[in-house]
Structure 1
């Protein structure tokens, strides 16, 4: 919107600015009041429209001859000018359809004018780009993991080992280390199995509810559980240390203090992110998109549409359709991610965990190999012993592979379920946008508030 006096900076040549603005505009509104045709110059008494240098006439002339859309806006009881009343250069204005803007029907007339302008004015909004993709380690992580694994397989068996265990008729420490490593590998397997089978339904329902709310609401609902787990951990640690754990307790409290400070900073950042996503829309979804982010985006669009009044304006329709297209694209990416191979899934989603697991398995195999060397040096290396050590290494590998398989199936099921769930909601939102957009905007009893102008509800 351009108005001459408020929009021209002091010191600018208004003649140049007016010509530039008319050339840049999509629609020129000619506001016609009663007596507009017969308005005369105060000094000469000549009708203003007859003065070739009159700026109103020059702006209309430039707009008409440059192919612009020119709309007459008739104030109250003003009549549209007849061709005979206009100079030849702007006579075409008389055959352009007019739009009334009456004081007693200001709301509905303004809505009709907006509907006229929506089809001719260029888009004035731009989507906010998505946040940058998270850092993913490249090939260097695989190279470092391979080097460290090979170094462990070579270095650990070469380390000197005390043979006191043989004189005491015991077992080498490296064998205990290998067995303990296999025992630890059971923990993630049990956690994934319990989460995938026993707690699948309640956890899924809990996640669906929490993912759709604001971060503030999420914190309010989950902090008691987190605080309880922290207190249990602190109590257990202090009980284990007893009277000698004063120094360790101070270290633990320091770690907890740093964790609370970091959580507070993260909470503030996410609160601002929520407010930004509500007021500046539409915003692109990150790639890759997580389940909480996707569910939150769907819930946010549902809240917006619930606050819109039919019929939607052009901007509202375009923004809603842009967000729907982004949601469909994200669902397509999720569907493709669910079909990834196991190694690709680990490498893309959990590169550090993948590298750590490979290194862990190599160290487990190295300790088992060191135990076999120790048995051979002590003269106890029998085929049965070596077979048992091989079995230990195979058990560790099988536990890791079983954890990977359960985790891969779990993430594939979660992504597939999310695509089905969110796909149905997105289809429902598309139907709602279509319903809110029809019939075309003609009259409106009062201007509808824009949802981004008030706080996002919980």
Structure 2
């Protein structure tokens, strides 16, 4: 449990001790500050509790008022001379256990001299004192808090980031597998026996027909990214910025169903135009969509739980490969928290907010490094599956053109112009693939750079608010408290 133990003697100064306890409890937390009257639960054996808390504390504050060393009981015996005096016992136990013991001098109280203390407590006179004056209570308390912060360990720990899934397709083995598959396609497709009599001067051979459709389909991603990242770029970016700030439930509700509905209408409409076979295929698409909805619902429930977990268990570390959505949401969560805070902040609030700001800054720095990556590094790290699919798609298209070329040559219908057209088509396909990748690369670089700038601005405002809520600044005392003349520092 640790924390701070307030050692004091009851008397006219108890109001100051009570105020000291309330302020320290507010800043360090209820479990981190102990005062006998406020902290011992009815029914507990107070001797056991006092000894246990002194043994466990990190700092013992000895509140010394004027006349502290000469306080006497009803019989006239000096209380510090009595072995059963609890103030004495607590001081001796803490000194014997090697705890940090700080004499806290109220107003004009003087530090005790060794000769005024019992033998087991004489080391208290050698401990540097801190003064607490009623007329400068807030200033002196801030200095005391600054001293205690370095002695009292925080009670919170950041929650580790959840295990990060490996990017599918990353690593050397998938890259080698893609290369082997590409080689197999390039060699295997032209070697297929397509039968006789399928190459004529009037009809296109099936490989050439399939390659032409593949080339046409390859233009679709280029057109899509060109439109999305061109005329609609600013609107989509603004939409994303707003959606990244909301909960996962709202985010999925605004994105996934819309995209799925558009895809279903397009696919089912195209299949329905193909007659009875198309209508049957459209039912298969609907079945797949229903399975997708079921999976999406399970994902939504999981993400809702994660939303609650990120709010209640904070601060959480951000993953090494943080997404733009996660980074924005981390900033928003901190903004929402701090909007409900009021001065003075507790130590835990201040330290957690400062830690989270630093963590957001580190994640933003990693995102800036990601934005500066070369094109191949971006593809391999972020989109290995997409890169592999494009390589295999382009290889299959080239293999189909090669099979058609070999068929034309075997039929004696091949010409240089035909072969050049096929080679040009393959180059066009490669150019479209590279164009799609290039537009996507430029967009991710721009969006990441803009997000880094946005996060820097918003965290700068949060840091300013944190400083404002933490004011006045807590600094350690600039000069030592007065000490008895015989223990003064030498000139």
Q: TM-score range by the shorter chain?
A: 0.7 to 0.9
Q: Deviations over 1:255-304 (max 9, x none)?
A: 22321221111111111111111111111111111110011111111112
Residue 27 of structure 1: aligned partner: 59
Residue 334 of structure 1: aligned partner: 367
User: Shift of the alpha carbon at 1:113?
Assistant: 8.5
Q: Deviations over 1:61-115 (max 9, x none)?
A: 13245351346699xxxx99988996453367699558799xxxxxxx9999877
Instruction: Judge which range, 239-248 or 311-320, deviates more.
Output: 239-248
**1:296 aligned to 2:329?**
yes
**1:404 aligned to 2:437?**
yes
Q: Deviations over 1:299-324 (max 9, x none)?
A: 11111221111233332222122111
TM-aligned CA distance change 1:46 to 1:242, over 3 Å:
farther
Aligned residue among 194, 211, 235 for 1:178: 211
Q: Aligned partners of 1:113, 1:221: CA distance in 2, in Å?
A: 52
Q: Aligned partners of 2:405, 2:268: CA distance in 1, in Å?
A: 41
Question: Contact between 1:49 and 1:86, CA under 8 Å: does it hold in 2?
Answer: yes
Residue 101 of structure 2: aligned partner: 69
Q: Equivalent residue of 1:28, what SS? A: strand
**1:202 aligned to 2:235?**
yes
Q: Aligned partners of 1:345, 1:416: CA distance in 2, in Å?
A: 14
User: Shift of the alpha carbon at 1:207?
Assistant: 0.5
**1:315 aligned to 2:372?**
no
Aligned residue among 386, 393, 400 for 1:367: 400
User: Shift of the alpha carbon at 1:426?
Assistant: 1.7
Q: Normalising by structure 1, report the TM-score.
A: 0.79
Q: Residues 218-237 of structure 1 correspond to what in structure 2 (within 5 A)?
A: 218-222=251-255, 225-226=258-259, 228-229=261-262, 232-233=265-266, 236=269
Q: Residues 51-200 of structure 1 correspond to what in structure 2 (within 5 A)?
A: 51-52=82-83, 57-64=88-95, 66-70=98-102, 87-90=118-121, 117-118=148-149, 120-136=151-167, 137-167=170-200, 169-200=202-233
Residue 282 of structure 1: aligned partner: 315
Q: Aligned partners of 1:343, 1:384: CA distance in 2, in Å?
A: 34
Instruction: Judge which range, 118-127 or 185-194, deviates more.
Output: 118-127
Q: CA RMSD in A?
A: 4.0
Q: Aligned partners of 1:273, 1:210: CA distance in 2, in Å?
A: 17
User: Shift of the alpha carbon at 1:24?
Assistant: 4.6
Q: Aligned partners of 1:318, 1:56: CA distance in 2, in Å?
A: 33
User: Shift of the alpha carbon at 1:399?
Assistant: 0.9
Question: Contact between 2:161 and 2:316, CA under 8 Å: does it hold in 1?
Answer: yes
Q: Deviations over 1:379-438 (max 9, x none)?
A: 012111111111111111111111111111111111111111112112222222222222
Q: Aligned partners of 2:250, 2:346: CA distance in 1, in Å?
A: 31
Question: Aligned pairs, how many?
Answer: 424
User: Shift of the alpha carbon at 1:252?
Assistant: 3.5
TM-aligned CA distance change 1:213 to 1:241, over 3 Å:
same
Question: Contact between 1:163 and 1:378, CA under 8 Å: does it hold in 2?
Answer: no
Question: Contact between 2:175 and 2:388, CA under 8 Å: does it hold in 1?
Answer: yes
TM-aligned CA distance change 1:98 to 1:167, over 3 Å:
closer
TM-aligned CA distance change 1:174 to 1:252, over 3 Å:
closer
User: Shift of the alpha carbon at 1:440?
Assistant: 3.7
Q: Aligned partners of 1:392, 1:134: CA distance in 2, in Å?
A: 39
Q: Normalising by structure 2, report the TM-score.
A: 0.74
TM-aligned CA distance change 1:389 to 1:31, over 3 Å:
same
Question: Contact between 1:69 and 1:120, CA under 8 Å: does it hold in 2?
Answer: no
Aligned residue among 380, 386, 411 for 1:353: 386
TM-aligned CA distance change 1:170 to 1:216, over 3 Å:
closer
TM-aligned CA distance change 1:230 to 1:46, over 3 Å:
farther
Instruction: Judge which range, 201-210 or 256-265, deviates more.
Output: 256-265
Residue 358 of structure 2: aligned partner: 325
Q: Aligned partners of 2:240, 2:430: CA distance in 1, in Å?
A: 32
Q: Aligned partners of 1:184, 1:281: CA distance in 2, in Å?
A: 47
Q: Which runs of 5+ in 2 are unaligned?
A: 3-33, 135-139, 476-491
Question: Contact between 1:64 and 1:70, CA under 8 Å: does it hold in 2?
Answer: no
Q: Equivalent residue of 2:60, what SS? A: strand
Residue 418 of structure 1: aligned partner: 451
